A and B are shown apart, each in its own frame.
Chain A
Amino acid sequence: GQQVMQIPQYQHVQEGEDFTTYCNSSTTLSNIQWYKQRPGGHPVFLIQLVKSGEVKKQKRLTFQFGEAKKNSSLHITATQTTDVGTYFCAERDAGNNRKLIWGLGTSLAVNP
């Protein structure tokens, strides 16, 4: 069935280092979404990518959608302690467009 693989599962960085998480799908995607969940909090929508090769930026966060629309990445430049949390990607379920298929998330820890 349709799957979303997210790597790495965990990442530990020093404050100021860069961080990247990758999301790979078993199917060609119509779009992909990214969410962030702070420890003890709830997932919060960050962005949706739709176009092949699309790149979007939100301050220090850069989101990319692969040319073949089968993968995506989230890159954080110069991490800060406020970036701590789990980052999830999600894609529309091709068999039921009322649902999303979620990656397991990448947990980011930042040492000050």
Chain B
Amino acid sequence: DAGITQSPRHKVTETGTPVTLRCHQTENHRYMYWYRQDPGHGLRLIHYSYGVKDTDKGEVSDGYSVSRSKTEDFLLTLESATSSQTSVYFCAISPTSETQYFGPGTRLLVL
């Protein structure tokens, strides 16, 4: 597996609270991605980054923000969690913006 970790692996939180998920890579790859996966929807891109401080929105970015202050870390923040953000969140890395390597995922439950 690629050197990619996600933390926390599981989280339960309450509606309205802020949540930050962390993706850490040891590969020094330029491209990093945040997806959410829900039954019937496959993988949906939230945000992605193509370098330090270079980020852009994906197809489901509302309610999420990201930051990348170092090559190895890509943070996903839910400013005020809602029940609709209950999901499995995957981080992915890529050296070329093509083939992607995924982290183990974070299961988030918003009550």
Contacts and interface: CB of A to CB of B under 8 A. Distances in A.
Given A42-B90, A42-B103, A98-B48, A48 B98 contact: yes
Contact of A45 (B41, B100, B103): B100
A103 to B, nearest CB: 7
Nearest to B30: A98
**Interface hub of B41, B43, B48, B58 (most chain A Cβ within 10 A):** B43
Interface size class of A (residues with CB under 8 A): 10 to 19
Contacts of B58: 99
B50 A42 contact: no
A65 to B, nearest CB: 15
A85 interface: no
A104 interface: yes
Nearest to B58: A99
A17 B42 CA distance: 26
B102 A99 contact: no
B98 A33 contact: yes
Contacts of B43: 43, 88, 102
A43 B99 contact: no
